[in-house]
Amino acid sequence: MRRNKIRVATFAGPGAEPEIRSVPWPDIPKKAALIQIGACGVCGTDLHILKGHWPKPLPWPFTLGHELGGVIVEAGPEFTEDFMGRPLAVGAKVMIPPLMPCGRCYYCLHYPETANKCLSPVYYGRYLGFDKAPHLWGGWAEYVYVDLDMLPGPDDMPLRLGALSEPLTSCIRALNRAVRAGGFKWGDSVVIQGSGPIGILAVAAAQEMGAGRVICVGAPEEPR
């Protein structure tokens, strides 16, 4: 159901308090969609940004939040599938990767399974400023606007689980790199350094990928 206003949280710079702003419900073009946020995580990257530790320029003010799961509530008539051909529709639960490939460059067209090679990606919750219409570019909001890619999820998927998909894929990628380097194979013992959110997800990923004994050591000095 359309609403007159959508609330979003923005930050004016490192150390600033969040500001809750209201923006109009956007018109959805034929190849775009509006996602109602069901859950969004607080990544270590978000904390580094808010503490002023991010090494690159950022478009303050903007909305943080890139670990998110939600439901499509409105979609344009041509927004029926993602760029890999998987179906999308209103009511579908989705996870949105923070690095959104353009879907048009050489690597997107010829190597869609390696989205990180995209020549002109969009980063949600980081490099899109609030001033850019329709102002819904991060997960710390009621809705997020998408005109690129997203990942369909199972109908029975809890949205909190969908919000964990991005950090979990980081752990899976790390283990895949270890496999390619010859440092990890089925049945090997694995040591995970750190028992924060990423460490716990890395334990789960290692177990699912065939590790024998999984040992987790250490904990954050100040648990989040």
**The model scores a pTM over 0.85:** no
Q: Check residue 140 and give its pLDDT.
A: 97
Do residues 189 and 183 touch, judged by C-beta distance below 8 A? no
d(CA 177, CA 116): 15
Are the C-beta atoms of residues 124 and 139 closer than 8 Å to each other? yes
Return d(Cα 71, Cα 144) in angstroms, integer: 10
Amino acid at 223: P
**How high is the mean pLDDT in each 10-residue block of the chain (224 residues)?**
89 96 94 93 93 93 94 91 79 83 85 82 88 94 81 75 86 89 91 89 93 87 64
Instruction: Report how far residue 61's alpha carbon sits from residue 58's, in angstroms, rounded to the nearest whole number.
Output: 8
Residues of the chain within CATH 3.40.50.720 domain(s) are 166-217
**CATH architecture of structural domain 166-217:** 3-Layer(aba) Sandwich (3.40)
The token pair that represents 16 in the structure block: 């600033």
Whether the CB-CB separation of 96 and 126 falls below 8 Å is answered with: no
Tell how strand 68-75 and strand 33-40 pair up: antiparallel
CATH 3.90.180.10 domain extents, the chain: 5-163
Contact 173, 198 (CB under 8 A): no
Whether 70 and 162 have beta carbons less than 8 Å apart is answered as yes
Whether the CB-CB separation of 28 and 34 falls below 8 Å is answered with yes
CATH code for residues 5-163: 3.90.180.10
